[in-house]
Chain A
Amino acid sequence: MIDGSIILVGGPASGKTNYIARLWLAFQAKKGTLRADHLPENVEYVNEAVSHVLSRKFAPRSERNMEESARRDFTLSVRGDEGAGPARNLTVPDITGELWKRALETYELPQEWIDALAGCSSAIIFIRANSKLNRQPMDWVTAREVLKGHEDDDDDDTEEDDADYGLDEDEDGEQIARTVVRPLAGQPATTEVKALAVSPEEGPTEPILADAEVHATSTQDVGLPAQVGFCELVRYLTVTLGERPDGSKPRVAVVVTAWDTIHPDTRAAGPAKYLQDQFPMLAGRLRVPGRLEFGVFGMSIVGGNLRNAAFRRSLKRRNLSDLGYTAVMRDGGVAEDPDVTLPLAWALGD
């Protein structure tokens, strides 16, 4: 039997747990490209998430202490090709979003996880659409404000006001008392020089943002812009993921979760276009695969927002494994495939 591991990558609330729950329903209902022969023994963690979804609620953010030693990995035996492929043991190590977040902030990751990554040749990166946790890149006005303070530090060019110099002073800078005729001619000249010296500085001193806003933006620099975080995660995977058994490139599926929350016009252009518009740096990085192979998917686990009361009511008594879809590009258009195992199957090489 072939062994394989897949690592799930994503910050807090990126949709990892909900995806696992929905995946579980697909396995249990024996639907999709990837099939599980039997349910594994220890599924407590997954069941917890499944029970949330079955009661038509999104699983809450997995609030767990990352120092907690008990890992809740799960292992199951799956076959590709709708159950016709060879059986393989699939291990899904359970790295919490908090741990990924910390890895981004401090570059630190416990050795056991570095080992786990090296043992994997597949990964899924979860990116939640329309998440308020997705920080946007700095805008021009904020950057200008930040840089202004910064440039003042660097600027050793003393802005000496030379308007006072050269007005017939003696060597100690004292006015020589013979400028009775000067004021008339000298006055306009003096003001002109002053205006010149001051004018370049006038712009910067204009309050562009209210003080409170400037303060808010300057203290915001905890955490990276979302796309930079995603690029860094890709970089971590580039340096850690192991080769596939057949020597081919490790595969990384990029899954845009909460796909149904995106405007239909945007959805029609497909997940890759969505990434291009929202996270251009990540899209650029995915365009240049290098050591990894990338696939981009959109994912809606139940086809709508469970926090919407009307939608939630509409699901009463429905079998949730019939709902939800994967958005993939096929034949030049976007297809909504009811098979939610697609990203996993692709990442595993099917």
Chain B
Amino acid sequence: MRGACTNTNCTFNATRSCVVGNPPENCPHRPELTDEGDELEEDNGLGDVDAGVEEEATPRALAPVSVGGAVLTAPDDDLPFLPASRTLGIEQANAMMESRPTCMVGIVGLAGAGKTAALVSAYLLLSKDQFDGYSYADSDTLRAFEEITGASRTWQKGSPPEQITSHTTLSNDREAGFLHLRLWRHADDRLLDVLLPDLPGEWSQALIGRNDADRLLFLRSASVIWLMVDGRQFANDHKVPRARFDAQVLIERLADLLEDRRPKIFLVPTWQDSQLFPQGEADDLSAYAGTFGFETELAPVASFSWSDDMEPGHGVAKLFDRSLCALPPPAEFWPDTEAEEGDRRLQAFRGRA
């Protein structure tokens, strides 16, 4: 993989076409990005990037510490920042999962499947207190939700983010990362933390196309997986073969990626307001996933609705509810056990007492 073009006379960074006519992947003006560099950046955003690597408009551009000297002049008004509530990186997500029970939802689906719409829909339901059975309690990524809801940040056309990076300050591009919600469940008065990845559909496309799985390895920590598909395509005689094929390959790729883990997969067809998802297709996909050992559930949603017969956000709260209920019950804290010969002393003592 190569980074941004360093030839100042070339417009490749803006137009994706090279003025010299070099093939983009072999152009000597585009420095190669190494995997090591990416991993370091994922750690702290200040990885020891190869000297001479310069990228525009990304935080990485501030990173070439080995060269020495500031590349950009400091802004005149360098006020201290309060911590931003934008998307979380892998480390922050890990820290949260270590500190408290957190449901990580793995969301996969092609571009246009409605991943963003479902997240926005959930956020709007919460902001109006119309989220059935739940209320908003907190979010560490409130501003990220605002950004995707207002579409004030969008994936950069043609070059979506390549990695999940920790994102702490304002910038003009949308970064891949995790969204966080803390929900109050009315039924049992519990607070539940949910992590939802906000990723470009290209990542799923790359997983299907070339098994590009490294950046999706976090899915191994997912409690459940939402496989989002555009429900309209499954109802369209001409598009259904391709849609079916993509969904099946995605399931197979997931099975490889997840190794021996088999979280429940929710098959989430979007656009229910426009087309009901054919039950036959759902059964087929479910059977296909079953051959890889996955348990699946169908959870159709209409994130928004063009139809008067269906309220916007239909099925979204239910999808969350079923995902949260899919969690295994918490282990009993220090259960009573029968003492046996050869047990450790403390357990033996407890057993007799």
Which A residues fall within an 8 A CB radius of B? 103, 106-111, 114, 137-138, 140, 143-144, 146-147, 149-151, 153-157, 162, 193, 196-197, 200, 203-204, 206, 221, 224-225, 227-228, 231-232, 235-236, 239-240, 276, 280-281, 284-285, 287-288, 290
How distant is the Cα of A236 from the Cα of B230 in the complex, in angstroms?
39
- The answer to whether the Cβ of B210 comes within 8 Å of any Cβ in the partner chain is no
Query: Is B200 located at the chain interface by the 8 A CB criterion?
Result: yes
Is there contact, CB below 8 Å, between B136 and A281? Answer: yes
- Which listed residue, A138, A143, A154, A221, touches B201 by the CB 8 Å rule? A154
Q: Decide: A111 near B151, CB < 8 A? Known: A138-B124, A280-B127, A281-B126.
A: no
Task: Point out the residues of chain A lying under 8 angstroms from B116, CB to CB.
Answer: 147, 150-151, 154
Contacts of A200 in B (CB 8 A): 232, 236, 271, 274-275
Report the minimum CB–CB distance from B160 to chain A (whole Å): 9
Q: Which residue from A109, A281, A287 sits with its C-beta under 8 Å from B82? A: A109
Chain A residues whose C-beta falls within 8 Å of the C-beta of B117 in the assembled complex: 147, 151
**Measured CA separation A203–B274 after assembly (Å):** 9
Tell whether, in the assembled complex, residue B124 and residue A140 are in contact, meaning their CB atoms are under 8 Å apart: yes
B127 in contact with A288 (CB, 8 Å): no
User: Is A157 in contact with B80, judged by CB distance below 8 angstroms?
Assistant: no
Residue of B nearest to A204 (CB): B306
Known A140-B313, A144-B312, A285-B137; 9 more pairs at CB < 8 Å: A108-B82, A114-B82, A138-B127, A140-B124, A155-B112, A157-B110, A157-B111, A281-B126, A290-B138
The reply to whether A221 and B137 form a contact with Cβ atoms under 8 Å apart is: no
In the complex where A110-B80, A228-B142, A285-B136 touch, is A221 in contact with B152 (Cβ < 8 A)? yes
CB nearest neighbor in A for B182: A288
Q: Which chain B residues border A227 with CB–CB below 8 Å?
A: 127
Q: Which residues of A contact B191 (CB under 8 A)?
A: 288
Chain B residues closer than 8 Å to A162, beta-carbon distance: 238
Q: Does chain A have a CB within 8 A of B157?
A: yes
Across-interface contacts of B138 in A (CB, < 8 A): 231, 284-285, 288, 290
Task: Tell me the complex Cα distance, A41–B317, Å.
Answer: 58
- Of residues 113 through 158 on chain B, the ones whose CB sits less than 8 Å from some CB of chain A are 114, 116-117, 120, 124, 126-129, 135-139, 142-143, 146, 149-152, 154-155, 157
Most chain B CB neighbours (cut-off 10 Å) among A138, A143, A149: A143
Q: Are A196 and B151 in contact (CB under 8 A)?
A: no
Binary interface profile of B, 154-177, with partner A (CB < 8 Å = 1, else 0)?
A: 110100000000000110000000
A281 to chain B, nearest CB (A): 5
